[in-house]
Amino acid sequence: MSSLIHFSGHQHFRQRLVLSILSGKHVRIDKIRSEDKNPGLRDFEVSLLRLLEKVTNGTIIEISVTGTAILLKPGIISGGSLSHDCPLSRSVGYFLEPIIMLAPFCKTPLQLTLRGITTDEHDLSADLIRTVTLPHLQLFGVSDGLELRIKKRGAPPEGGGEVQFLCPIVKQVKTLNFVDPGRIKRIRGAAHAVRVNPQFSNRMIEASRSILNRYIPDIYLYSDVYKGDESGKSPGYALSLLAESTTSAIHCAEAISQPGVAPEDIGLQATRALLAEVNMGGCVDRKHQTLVLLMMVLGSEDVGRCRMGEPTPRTIQFLRDVKSFFGTSFKIVPAEPGSSQLLYSCYGTGYVNANRALA
Amino acid sequence: AQTSISSTRKTRRKDWTKLIYSTSLTPEQILEGAEEQEGGPREDEMDEDDFFQIKTSRAEGDDVLDQSKDVLSAAELKKWEDEEMLESIRHLFITGGGEGGEGE
């Protein structure tokens, strides 16, 4: 059948599932860690498939006996009020990132409660999703009622956190035309420390300020306090930072506690990572390239433009996968002669949310 | 004058559209700047007459996690301990040089 798209390997698992569900095309993924000592899907991948089953209606997922191959026949994206317990092998960010790509196209607005780890070193933390990822969705006209509430924090390894994600539905996303990165006008940040000395937050903030104070006066780093049951089951602390420009371009970075590393050093790490990110330039930071590019593809039938830095390896594969599912390819040219920043443009597919209840 | 410092990053001409859509290079190879013909890992330690081939599964395995945050590289972070490096991005902030000043 022509609508079946085939991939091999466990890499880029999430984006392929998302693209399949959005495009309605069946996807088969095989050779999932088939050479590994412990072959097949990991618990978090199975959990993600279960979550996607909950968010949709009529989706058929077949997993081979060995777990090294799956077939997904997407149904409609239904949304509604749902909850899901995430395994402790990945944080809630792993699950939210693909869900955010689907949520605006639900039949009814999504209210999703996720329980598990809220901040870890692999995925966007709940803080960055709230303060950086969601504003990126707003660029495309998904805004009223868009919210992420961090009810309880959960540090690895035991987690115990809880977040609630609320997303409105849209008929169509707007075309993006974002080519002026502007200049950084403010820096914001949140430090949290759970089940450790609460002073750790302030120590991270002070260390971060020791670098940032030189640049601009508008810096507000606050210490987010969670107590008792709200602070989860394990000790941990982290600093999440974002830099916002005059044109509302946002760059972000964070660092989380590691055994034997002082809070000051975590604060410095986060700050230096932020500066590295700012230095890459562009209107969208590296962590949000795929989200923005996806929404550009789904935008109305017009040319969308966005200026960004060089694509990450994930982004390159994403661009190729988008072409497999939607047939859309981007034009990628230097933003100015000699510039390392690039201008990504594509013609939107005019994707219409057909799931939306007619009202 | 300040802006010229930031452009010291080497910017080799790349035809991104072509590299992404019409080559079979892996994303990593594209970023390393490999050409189509000389791609692939260098196996200089292996003799021609070695019968058993060691399977190079570089991109396989769980070291490549499906994650959106980049691994903070120590070298990249180290760069930012340098005062000159810190100064070099001042023009990216509203207070640094050019039209500068407050307001939009």
Would you say residue B66 has pLDDT above 70? yes
Look at residue A291 and tell me if it is in a domain: yes
Residue A110 pLDDT: 97
All residues of chain A having their beta carbon less than 8 Å from the beta carbon of residue B67 are 94, 122-123
| pLDDT computed for residue B8 by the predictor | 40
Average pLDDT of the segment spanning B68-91? 91
Nearest CA in chain B to A279: B89
Same domain (yes/no): A265, A324:
no
DSSP string, A220-266: EEEEE---GGGG-SS-EEEEEEEEEETT--EEEEEEE--TT--HHHH
Q: Using CA atoms, how far apart are residues B71 and B92, in angstroms rounded to an integer? A: 24
Partner-chain contact A122 B65, CB within 8 Å: yes
CB contact under 8 A, B11 and A12: no
Are A169 and A109 contacting, i.e. CB atoms less than 8 angstroms apart?
yes
**pLDDT at res. A316:** 97
Q: What's the pLDDT at B35?
A: 64
Sign (positive/negative) of CA torsion A206, B88, A313, A59?
positive
pLDDT in tens, B5-25: 444 444 457 899 999 999 999
Tokens 């590289």 sit at which residue? B73
Mutation target to probe the B interface, by most B beta carbons within 10 A, among A180, A252, A318, A332 is A332
If you count residue pairs, one on A and one on B, with CB atoms under 8 Å apart, how many are there? Answer: 123
In a domain, residue A353? The reply is: no
Write the CATH number for A25: 3.30.110
Q: Give me the pLDDT at residue A168, please.
A: 97
Query: Residues of B with CB below 8 A from A122's CB?
Result: 65, 67, 69
- For A61-86, the pLDDT digits (tens) are 999 999 999 999 999 999 999 999 99
Q: For the domain that residue A216 is a member of, what is the CATH number?
A: 3.30.360.20
B93 touches chain A (CB under 8 A): yes
Which residues in B lie closer than 8 A to residue A310 (C-beta atoms)?
31
How far is Cα A292 from Cα A251, in angstroms, rounded to an integer?
Answer: 13
Domain that holds residue A34: 1-75
More confident residue, B102 or A254: A254
Whether B58 shows a pLDDT value over 60: the answer reads no
* B101–A contact, CB cutoff 8 A: no
Q: Is residue A172 part of a domain?
A: no
Nearest by CB to A246, from B64, B89, B94: name it: B94
Q: How far apart are CA A14 and CA A45, in angstroms?
A: 8
Residue A31 has phi, psi (to 5 degrees) of: 50, 40
Name which of B66, B72, B95 to mutate to probe chain A: the one with the most chain A Cβ atoms within 10 A of its Cβ.
B66
Tell me whether residues B17 and A329 touch, CB distance under 8 A: yes
Q: In 10 A of CB A326, how many CB atoms?
A: 19
Are residues A188 and A274 both part of a single domain?
A: yes
Evaluate whether residue A137 is within a structural domain: no
CA distances from B15 to A303, A331, B23 (A): 20, 10, 11
pLDDT given at position B52: 59
The angle at the Cα of A80, spanning A77 to A83, to the nearest 5 degrees, equals: 105
Last residue of a domain, one of A280, A311, A338: A280
pLDDT by 10s per residue, chain A, length 359: 458 999 999 999 999 999 999 999 999 999 999 999 999 999 999 999 999 999 999 999 999 999 999 999 999 999 999 999 999 999 999 999 999 999 999 999 999 999 999 999 999 999 999 999 999 999 999 999 999 999 999 999 999 999 999 999 999 999 999 999 999 999 999 999 999 999 999 999 999 999 999 999 999 999 999 999 999 999 999 999 999 999 999 999 999 999 999 999 999 999 999 999 999 999 999 999 999 999 999 999 999 999 999 999 999 999 999 999 999 999 999 999 888 899 999 999 999 999 886 65
- CATH code of the domain in which A334 resides: 3.30.1370
Residue B54 touches chain A, beta carbons under 8 Å: no
Chain B: closest CA distance from residue A359 (Å)? 37
* Listed residues A48, A75, A102: the one ending a domain: A75
What value does the mean pLDDT take over residues B55-80? 73
Task: Report ipTM (2 d.p.).
Answer: 0.88
CB contact under 8 A, A184 and B93: yes
Q: How much is the average pLDDT of B30-53? A: 58
Mean residue pLDDT across chain B: 70
Tell me whether B64 touches chain A (CB under 8 Å).
Answer: yes
Q: Identify the closest residue of chain B to A94 by CA–CA distance.
A: B67
Longest distance between any two alpha carbons in chain B, whole Å: 70
pLDDT at B45: 45
Same domain, yes or no, for A272 and A303?
no
Same domain, A273 and A299: no
Same domain, A11 and A63: yes
In a domain, A250, yes or no: yes
The answer to whether the CB atoms of A276 and B76 lie below 8 A apart is yes
One domain for residues A240 and A327: no
Please judge whether B6 and A93 are an interchain contact, meaning their C-beta atoms are less than 8 angstroms apart: no
- Do A304 and A248 fall within a single domain? no
Segment B44-71 shows an average pLDDT of 60
Last residue of a domain, one of A280, A307, A322: A280
Question: Could you give the number of structural domains in chain A?
Answer: 3
Distance to chain B for A358, nearest Cα, Å: 35
SS3 state at A56: strand
pLDDT at B36 (0 to 100): 57
* Residue at A117 is within a domain: no
